[in-house]
A and B are shown apart, each in its own frame.
Chain A
Amino acid sequence: MGLVKYLKSADLTPWLEELAQENKVFAPRYEGDAVIFAPFDPKQEISIKHAATMPPKKTVFPQSEKLVDFTYSKDPEDLSRVMIEGKEVLPEGTAVVFGGRPCDVRGFTMFDRVYLAEKTTDVYYKARRDNTSFITLACEKPETTCFCHWVGSSPYDATGSDVLATPIEDGYVLESFSPKGQKLLTSKLLENGDRWISKGQEVNENAVESLTDAPDLSRAPQKLLDVFDNMNFWEKAAAKCLSCGACAYLCPSCYCFNITDETTGMKGTRFRSWDNCMSAQFTMEASGHNPRPTKAHRLKNRVGHKFSYYPGIHDGVISCCGCGRCIKSCPVGIDIREIVQEAINHEPAIG
């Protein structure tokens, strides 16, 4: 067990202010009617009663980031010779993300397998990942769209988190899960948490008890491959899909991006920005051929990737953290749980 501390509710803002002296601190707050992770501002109330509308994905994987600034120059001796000089723009500074949920933060562990792989490490991702700490809030009660327990997690799963905060009466039980987390818990505002441990455990256990039974998804990877060529299945599943990117951009574990060079005159920038497999352009090839020409092909990819192809190459880990945002924020209420279960229960027609 790591360090255990207790924080009084009244000391939350002072603690975040303290952390903000050395780090950029992100916390969820209302912007309009949506709750998003924004730079912490003690003058603005944070909103942590319920899971935020947007996960804190952008804190490590920004919606758009500069990778390289480049400049063209011409050789004065030979004007047809154009040279290019590039300068890598690496992220700087440390950040603390407060108020993500276990599902939100666990999503980054699915990024890690891709961006921090042995052969290829994404330096931009790595810089932010290494320099960002997560103080995660355990959930007290699952929502109707929550299904973290279907995909191997729980309302108090600390995977990927540095500190897990369990809300109890008038305060939080804080437990560290990494050296980074331990460092965060050295503040004088925190008191020894030993006598609150059992209270915290009670909250955690109650949350687990309020979950409904989870179906067995162990057959999902194979079953999804079985229906890969069954376009009737996918056309039915995708009939109501609008092919927008809300599900992917709200997903804590969707990590796809696009690269764009934008040039003005002799100067330019290479951007990396979020992309999503629901967009027709995602797989559009230079020839004009699109291997995923319809929304049915695209939805198949999104579900297949999370519940079959990714687990197939990553030790069976499902790349869905069960936060349910793709369900509750889908403009037409597509339910990924339903599609996966239909695939599992699908029996091919005989003959």
Chain B
Amino acid sequence: MKFQEELKKCISDVMPELDVVIGWCASFDPLHATPHFMRRKEDIDKLEISPLSVHNLATYLPGLRGKKVGIVVKGCDSRSVVELLQENLIDRKDVTIFGFPCTGVVDQSKIKKALGHTGNVESCEMSDTALVIKMDDKTQTLAMAEMLADKCSSCRYPDAVISDYFAGEKIGNKGEKDVDYAAVEAFEKLSVPERFGYWLKELDRCIRCYACRNACPLCVCRDHCAAESRDPHWLSQENNVRDKLMFQVIHAYHLAGRCTECGECQRACPVDIPVLMFKQKMNQEIREIFQYEAGVDPEATPPLLSFKMEEENITEKVW
């Protein structure tokens, strides 16, 4: 990435004032990156920004409250930072935001599907248009556009919406087109038994590891989650798919009007359950009722964190 050196210099200049700067670096194979916590100048050399920089690092911010933290953000990640600021869960003065022009990140599940498996990747070359992966004595070229996460194809904010330093040329907000909920709408055309059947099947393999919850930048209850509360005992410990579904519903409701659809819940799921759809549905409703988009304006108040005597789009029950 062309702006990477510029970004490294930026971070290097500010680092003396910070406790830690979070970015990404290479991971266990050439197809994966991993969050990188930079504390010393030499750590900066390892910083790598690429379509493999999938993790939303904003997840770490509430846990580091009180420390001076630098964070490298994609456009989508920056919206989580904004939402955390809106909800007063982090302090603006303590967070230094480094933005860059993001051209999209990959969806590892799509790559796995395209290649059959990704267990033996020897090398991975990336350009704007392609991923060239060497594995099992074969070289395979995948079109980048087809391997990008779904959120990237409809992304309107490729540049960070908030930043203290920005490396590279801004791409600019993309179009006026509203977020596309076509997948949710198509799903809703199915009958109730079909929809319920779909979730019973998908959630059956849930192992209740709560990676979906812990990867979510806005799941800030952390160690005090309703899912694991013993008293009251909201969810049964029986291996019961309805209780797994119940947790997803609790999660989605807690995120209504707060979720920026970064997709970390779904990406983190070790058994690939498409749990993002629950949150997309909530957001679709919130947009309709409150004309609100989460994590764009640090000064705005999320609709469910405020109260109005008369809501414009909610018809009071007529007695």
Contacts and interface: CB of A to CB of B under 8 A. Distances in A.
A145 interface: yes
Contact of B237 (A31, A250, A273): A273
B311 to A, nearest CB: 36
Contacts of A63: 207-208, 239
Given A242-B59, A281-B228, A329-B270, A335 B28 contact: yes
A281 B231 CA distance: 13
Contacts of B211: 242, 244-246, 331
A239 interface: yes
A44 interface: no
B272 interface: yes
Interface string B29-56: 1001111110000000000000000010
Given A32-B202, A281-B223, A335-B28, A240 B117 contact: no
- Could you tell me the dominant secondary structure of chain A's interface residues? loop
B26 to A, nearest CB: 10
A245 B209 contact: yes
Nearest to B215: A331
B66 to A, nearest CB: 14
Interface in A235-270: 236, 239-240, 242-246, 248-250, 258, 260, 262, 269
A245 B268 CA distance: 11
A33 B34 contact: no
A31 B240 CA distance: 17
Contacts of B238: 64, 66, 262, 269, 271, 273
B171 to A, nearest CB: 27
B175 interface: no
A49 B117 contact: yes
A144 B120 contact: yes
A280 B213 CA distance: 14
Contacts of B264: 331
Q: In this complex, which of A236, A274, A328 has the most chain B Cβ atoms within 10 angstroms of its Cβ?
A: A328
Contacts of A240: 34-37, 60
A327 B267 CA distance: 15
Contacts of B268: 242, 244, 246, 331
B12 interface: no
Given A143-B120, A144-B119, A242-B214, A262 B228 contact: no
Nearest to B228: A281
A64 B33 CA distance: 34
A54 B272 CA distance: 11
Chain A interface category by residue count: 35 or more
Contact of A144 (B28, B113, B213, B267): B28
Contacts of A145: 28-29, 119
Interface in B264-286: 264, 267-268, 270-274
A332 interface: yes
B205 A32 contact: yes
A240 B35 CA distance: 6
B27 interface: yes
Contacts of A51: 119
A332 B55 contact: yes
A103 interface: no
A33 B210 contact: no
Nearest to B272: A33
Given A32-B273, A242-B214, A274 B207 contact: yes
Given A240-B35, A280-B223, A281-B228, A32 B237 contact: no
A333 B116 contact: no
Contact of B236 (A33, A246, A262, A332): A262
A53 interface: yes
Contacts of A36: 205, 271
Contacts of A71: none
B139 to A, nearest CB: 17
B239 A64 contact: yes
A99 to B, nearest CB: 15
A244 B272 contact: no
Given A32-B205, A331-B211, A50 B32 contact: no
Contacts of A31: 201, 204-205, 271
Contacts of A312: none
B308 interface: no
A302 to B, nearest CB: 13
A8 interface: no
Contacts of A329: 270
**6 closest Cβ pairs, A-B complex:** A143-B119, A331-B268, A280-B223, A333-B34, A64-B239, A33-B272
22 contacts: A31-B204, A32-B205, A32-B273, A32-B274, A36-B205, A63-B208, A64-B237, A141-B136, A236-B37, A240-B35, A240-B36, A244-B210, A244-B211, A244-B268, A245-B208, A246-B270, A249-B208, A262-B233, A262-B236, A276-B209, A333-B32, A335-B28
